Amino acid sequence: MRVANRWIPFRGSRRAPRARLVCLPHAGGGALGYRQFTACFPEEIEVCAIELPGRGTRMNEPLVHDFITLVSALAEAIAEYTDLPFAIFGHSMGALLAYELNRGLMARYGRQAQHLYVSGMRAPHIPDRHKFLNARTDTELMCRVRELGGIPADVWNNQDLVQMMTATMKADFSICASYEYQDHEPEASPITAFAGTDDPFASVEEVRLWRRHTCSGFAFKAYPGAHFFIHQAYPDVARLICSHFDAER
């Protein structure tokens, strides 16, 4: 039995999984945010929802502000979980983390995902139109996040929670702002990209451009909704991921 890993606090009760799905959070998100997604998968697929430092079960740890530092720590933390066939999923900030994590795992451990799933994020070579968010006041920043649908009404009405979330959001936007795309050979892992038809953060056209970053198969699917369209799309996305795992058997 594996020793508990603070990066993956909620692995469920899968006794003999045949495959794993590593899920990386959006800015301000945590492992619990994937609870609904986890419930969409059968017993034989273990969903490993990542908990980043400074939130959720790791609230007492310092926040990370640098992209390279975070990806390096992630690769080291989940390397032991790549002993089974695995895929990586990430939404928004998590999509960039997923992409670079897959590269890091291959460079350091010679392992790569069977499939890479990226959601609600422009392709990595496209300049970030939203870096201005990092320079706004705390109030303006959180209002913008709320406009994107990232803060539920019950959280918005609790100022203690908003204050706590503000620090996390600022750290995560710093992570995104510190990301510098380096041109390199396309990924060997196939990529499937998901977009919201009304997402102001990542347009359908920007998400489609992920096709440039794989030399294997590429697929794209758009769903109705804004930036957090993925919450309603989870059942369909899970079925698609399961079909890919089945095809690889």
Residue pair 30/52 in contact by the 8 Å Cβ criterion: yes
What is the side-by-side strand order in the sheet with 45-49? 45-49, 19-24, 86-91, 115-119, 191-196, 218-223
**Which tokens belong to 164?**
């706590």
Closest to 176 in 3D by CA, of 242, 85, 93, 90: 93
- C-alpha triplet 96, 119, 78: angle, nearest 5°: 50
d(CA 211, CA 195): 13
d(CA 56, CA 29): 9
Active site residue 72: no
Q: Which helix (H) or strand (E) holds 49?
A: strand 45-49
d(CA 39, CA 124): 30
Active-site residue identified among 13, 72, 92, 216: 92
Residue pair 38/89 in contact by the 8 Å Cβ criterion: no
d(CA 237, CA 174): 29
Q: Write out the catalytic residue numbers.
A: 92
